[in-house]
Structure 1
Amino acid sequence: MAVLVTRPHPDNEATAATLHARGFEVLLAPMLRFEALAFQDDSDAHYHAVIVTSANALRGFERHPSGQRLLKLPLFAVGEHTAQAARHAGFGDVIAADGGVAALRDAVLASVKAKRLKKAGTLLYLAGADLARDLAGDLGERGFTVVTHTTYRMIPVAELPPAAREGFAANQIAAVLHYSRRSARAFLQAARTAGVEISALAIPQCCISDAVASVVRDAGATQVLTASRPDENALLEALMRALRP
């Protein structure tokens, strides 16, 4: 029996390696496809810090000469995975929040309180094309000026890979891991298209947040487990609970 990982490439490979190390068989079915967008920096703009809610926003960033001046700024990352991507891109002063947009906002506010960051400063938000929460507006209400640059978009994948379709048809998939509302919706649509929706929803659906869980629950899934915090370690803990004898 295999665990189906819907996380996009290339992060799904790290997830697969972790699952293999824990003794699981793995099937990869990335339901979103990454597409980088050109980064156009305004050289006259002055920023006090950079904020990032996904490692995807930093993929390929190091290849943009116009962004090199930003590497000297402090960067606030939503979690440690994104923080590692920031360090790889060349940022030296990286602050990792505990996961989730609210935690990232609180980390920015805490830096102001600690006088590490200027109050009412200008923040550069490197973001995706589809945002689940208005972080810029949230920080704007607290006196910051937030300039948003869209550096990537995630495109839904229309079909399940053949191995996933066959796995559902043969009842050889033990659980599904979901990482975002958009990828969960894409998974559901692909399962319907493949004619395996009933089988796909009859097994545990392990979700990284309540918001993601609501998508699969509304679709009819009855075995829905939510991570205790929005990170992969907690998601894998949910998987262990789901498959516990």
Structure 2
Amino acid sequence: MDGMMHMLVTRPLPDAQATAERLAALGIASTLAPLMSRQTLAANLPPAQGFAAIAITSTNALRALADLNALSQLLDIPVFAVGDRTAHEARQLGFAEVEAAEGTLDSLVTRIALARLAGPVFYPAGRHLSGDLAGALAPHGLMVVTSPVYEMVAETGLDPDVATGLAQGAFGATLLYSRRTAEIFCALAAPILPDSRRRDRPMLCLSENVAAPLLENRFSRVLLADHPSEEAMMALALAFAREQTGP
């Protein structure tokens, strides 16, 4: 490596590739180590009629709906997306009415509650839910019909080159975008990194929720994005790289 900052990207494909390209544009090299892969589930979806809105908390849900050939019947229903990137993907797929929250489940709940919907909410989700949308909207008198449409399957081991790089401190930082990814990373990195080595490994995290498993596993050099978005993660990566290598 030639003095250029080199980072480890742990998010699933195709998002990992998009992140690598954005890092490259900032002059940061990267290695992809997706810790999960998406599998579309054979979902038995409810009829679209009668839903007042669709809640989307991940672009993976949209990709799964496309895999299931379910988009055409849903495109006229208003979409509430968790953040800008998910909203952009929904518009690209042809949804006519899309509103973006601020990147967190709480902001999505608030946005949906303020819309004063006249019917139930359809929530195509992952098998492993990171938050309880239905429970959060129940006090607002809203019924949520949750359909698991995809599963993020955890990797059971690290690529040997990635494992060696981690052990040798070859990566200037590791980028983590979800709590479950952080949990998987901790499990797979534990045999490679003793506690004493974890303390000096920089971890760049999307949010406090993502960082929690790292702190529990004695990774103490944890930096948080200012906002749960890819833009904020890129700003964090660039600021960190400049701090380490100079402008």
Q: TM-score, normalised by structure 2?
A: 0.89
Distance 1:79 1:172 in 2: 33
Structure 1 runs of 4+ off > 3 angstroms? 63-67, 196-201, 240-243
Distance 1:38 1:80 in 2: 28
Distance 1:65-1:186 versus aligned 2 partners, 3 A rule: closer
How far apart are residue 60 of structure 1 and its match? 3.9
Distance 1:223 1:44 in 2: 46
Q: What is the Cα-based RMSD across aligned positions, in Å?
A: 1.8
How far apart are residue 63 of structure 1 and its match? 4.4
Q: How many matched pairs?
A: 238
Distance 2:64 2:125 in 1: 13
Distance 2:232 2:48 in 1: 42
SS at 1:69's partner residue? Answer: coil
Distance 1:163 1:87 in 2: 38
Q: Which residue pairs with 1:40 in the alignment?
A: 44
Distance 1:76 1:19 in 2: 29
Q: Are the counterparts in 2 of residues 47 and 122 from structure 1 also a CA contact under 8 Å? A: yes
Distance 1:29 1:65 in 2: 29
Distance 1:216 1:53 in 2: 23
Distance 1:176-1:146 versus aligned 2 partners, 3 A rule: same
Distance 1:12 1:70 in 2: 28
Higher alpha-carbon deviation: 229-238 or 97-106:
229-238
Q: Are the counterparts in 2 of residues 41 and 67 from structure 1 also a CA contact under 8 Å? A: no
Deviations 1:11-58 (A, max 9, x none): 000000000000011011111111111232233752111011000001
SS at 2:232's partner residue? Answer: helix
Q: Which residue pairs with 1:144 in the alignment?
A: 142
Distance 2:39 2:48 in 1: 27
Deviations 1:124-164 (A, max 9, x none): 01111111211111111110111001111111111112331
Does residue 64 (structure 1) correspond to residue 35 (structure 2)? The answer is no
The residue correspondences of 1:12-161 to structure 2 (distance < 5 A) are 12-43=16-47, 45-112=49-116, 117-118=117-118, 121-161=119-159
Higher alpha-carbon deviation: 201-210 or 15-24:
201-210
How far apart are residue 172 of structure 1 and its match? 1.5
How far apart are residue 66 of structure 1 and its match? 4.6
Q: Are the counterparts in 1 of residues 54 and 78 from structure 2 also a CA contact under 8 Å? A: yes
Q: Which residue pairs with 1:206 in the alignment?
A: 204
Distance 1:197-1:208 versus aligned 2 partners, 3 A rule: farther
How far apart are residue 65 of structure 1 and its match? 4.2
Q: Which residue pairs with 1:188 in the alignment?
A: 186
Higher alpha-carbon deviation: 147-156 or 87-96:
87-96
Q: TM-score, normalised by structure 1?
A: 0.90
Higher alpha-carbon deviation: 27-36 or 166-175:
166-175
Which stretches in structure 1 are left out of the alignment for 5+ residues? none
Instruction: Kindly provide the amino acid, as one letter, of the partner of residue 115 in structure 2.
Output: S
SS at 1:70's partner residue? Answer: coil
SS at 2:37's partner residue? Answer: strand
